[in-house]
Structure formats: C-alpha cells, structure tokens
Amino acid sequence: MSAETAIRLDRLSKRYEPSAPLVLEEISLDVRAGEFVCLVGASGCGKSTLLSIIAGLEPPTTGTVEVTGERAAMMFQESALLPWLTARRNVEFALELRGVAAAERREQALDLLDLVNLAPAADKRPHQLSGGMRQRVALARALAQDRPVLLMDEPFAAVDAITRDLLHVELERIWLETGRTIVFVTHNVGEAITLGDRIILLGSRPGRIAAEWSIDRAARATMTAADLADLQAEITGRLRQGIRANAA
C-alpha cells in the first residue's frame, strides 16, 4: 500500500456463520490519504459491518483490509460518554488509554475540546450538554486516539436538522485542519453530498459497491441549488432502484 493510500480493501467478503448468507461480497476499494469518503445505502446493506471490519472490530471472512497506522479511530451514532466524567475527563480517558503522561493529558484534552469549539464546557458532565455538544465531545475523544484514519458511523443521525448542519460545518473545518482520512457512514444522501469528496453506494443482499460519485470540493462551492438537487436525485434514484430490486 502506497503512502498516498490510507485504506485498501481487496475482495473483502463477510458472512457471520458458514451457512448464513453473505453480508458483504467482493468489496475492493482504495481510500486516499486525506480523503473524505461517504458510504450510503439502504438499511441492512452492510455499511456498519464494513466500517467495523476497517476498524478491526470484525474480521473479514475472505479478502484483506489494510489501514495506515494499523488501526483507525471510531466514532458511533451514540456519544457513549462516561456520565460520571466531565467532558474534559472523557477526552483525557482516551489519552490515558493511549499512554499519554498524566501531566500532559489536561492540556491536550483542552486543546482537543477547543478544536471542536467546546472548551468552555470542559467541566460539564454529559447530562449538562445538548446532543450536539455530546457528539462534539465524542469527536474530540476520537481525535484523541491520534490515528490518521477516522471512521464515523452515522454520528449525527440522532440530532435535529439545525444542529446537524452546524456539526457538518465543524466537521469539515476539523477535517481540513487535521488532514485526517474520514470514512463516514450515513443513510442521508444530502449529508453525503454536503461532506464527501467521494460518495460510495452499497447495494444490498449482499452488500456490494453499486456506484460511486466524485465531488470536487472547489467545484461544489459554485454548484447551484438545482445542480445539488439533481445530484441528490440521481443518487437517491440509484438507491431506490436497488431497494426495489431486492424487494422483488
């Protein structure tokens, strides 16, 4: 795997039991270092399973997966913060697991909370934070793992639309500032268009790469609302086509 490639999947397939149907089949994919890739697909198509395999939480049945830095950081739909710890201590906990010295953990945690625009809430506990704030703490905690690849499994699905839009802006800023490679799972086509350099559509039963779209970030800034609507309609149409085919 070259230095320009952060993730390489080669003919990756997954089934949970020898007699069970395939969940994923023959997925081959290269993700460039620093790329922001969005995975979209119908519920049950294997998006989260694929992310778990890339994270090393699940083994593939066949095929190989290579990730730069050996392991990736992972952020889930639920923030899963430790409720008895403050925002700062939740981030410090990730730093502690990484082996960062106690004398350095407080400053690094505050720097990470500042990166997600949450330093003023460092001493608040999760129940004192809004859903969007909790997700920003979870993002800071994921960044504390200091891995070049960040995997995000529908991290904004549980927040309201206005908060989600704000989190999109924050995430794009952090991605540009840190240079992380991000693979972002979503069922929301509009969200994928907003965030992704590349959008990959997974088909279902089993999950296969059905289509992909590349979006030049500079060109996207000049796209009209009609252009964006056309792209969303195209991706949504392919998604619905796959759903109808599997329902037949």
Same domain, 93 and 197: no
Q: What is the DSSP letter of 21?
A: P
Question: Alpha-carbon distance 224 to 177, whole Å?
Answer: 26
Query: What mean pLDDT comes out for the span 3-17?
Result: 92
Same domain, 142 and 197: no
* 169 assigned to some structural domain: yes
Same domain, 56 and 108: no
Question: Alpha-carbon distance 35 to 150, whole Å?
Answer: 11
* 103 assigned to some structural domain: yes
Which position has the higher pLDDT, 73 or 79?
Answer: 73
* 98 assigned to some structural domain: yes
Same domain, 136 and 163: no
Query: What mean pLDDT comes out for the span 185-202?
Result: 92
Domain endpoint, select from 146, 168, 201 = 146
Query: What mean pLDDT comes out for the span 87-110?
Result: 91
* 88 assigned to some structural domain: yes
Q: How many CB atoms lie within 10 A of CB 57?
A: 12
* 93 assigned to some structural domain: yes
Which position has the higher pLDDT, 122 or 216?
Answer: 122
Residues above pLDDT 70, as percent of the chain: 97
Residue 120, preceding peptide bond in cis (omega within 30° of 0)? no
pTM (two decimals): 0.90
Same domain, 202 and 93: no
In this predicted model, what pLDDT tens digit does every residue of 15-57 receive, in sequence order?
A: 998 888 899 999 999 999 999 999 998 888 889 999 999 999 9
* 190 assigned to some structural domain: yes
Residues above pLDDT 90, as percent of the chain: 54
pLDDT > 80? residue 193: yes
Model pLDDT, residue 120: 92
In this predicted model, what pLDDT tens digit does every residue of 133-167 receive, in sequence order?
A: 998 899 999 999 889 999 999 988 878 888 888 88
Residue 241 pLDDT grade (very low, low, confident, very high; cuts 50, 70, 90): confident
Report the domain count for the chain.
2
Domain endpoint, select from 96, 131, 146 = 146
Model pLDDT, residue 103: 86
Model pLDDT, residue 246: 67
CATH of the domain at 213: 3.40.50.300
- Could you tell me where the beta strands, DSSP code E, fall in the chain? 5-14, 24-32, 36-41, 62-67, 73-75, 149-153, 181-185, 198-202, 209-214
Domain endpoint, select from 146, 166, 185 = 146
Same domain, 203 and 87: no
* 77 assigned to some structural domain: no
Same domain, 174 and 199: yes
pLDDT > 80? residue 244: no
For all residues of the chain together, what is the average pLDDT? Answer: 89
pLDDT > 60? residue 248: no
Task: Measure the CA angle with vertex 246, ends 243 and 248; round to 5°.
Answer: 110
Q: What is the Cβ-side half-sphere exposure of residue 56, based on CA atoms within 13 angstroms?
A: 12
Q: What is the DSSP letter of 25?
A: E
List the domain range (segments joined by +) for residue 224: 5-72+149-247
Question: Alpha-carbon distance 33 to 30, whole Å?
Answer: 10
Same domain, 100 and 51: no
Residue 79 pLDDT grade (very low, low, confident, very high; cuts 50, 70, 90): confident
Query: What mean pLDDT comes out for the span 85-107?
Result: 91
* 34 assigned to some structural domain: yes
Same domain, 64 and 30: yes
Same domain, 62 and 93: no
Question: Alpha-carbon distance 158 to 116, whole Å?
Answer: 18
Q: Which residues contact 200 (CB under 8 A, 6 or more apart)?
A: 29, 37, 38, 39, 40, 209, 211, 212
Same domain, 127 and 195: no
In this predicted model, what pLDDT tens digit does every residue of 172-192 receive, in sequence order?
A: 988 998 899 999 999 899 999
Same domain, 160 and 225: yes
Task: Measure the CA angle with vertex 129, ends 127 and 118; round to 5°.
Answer: 140
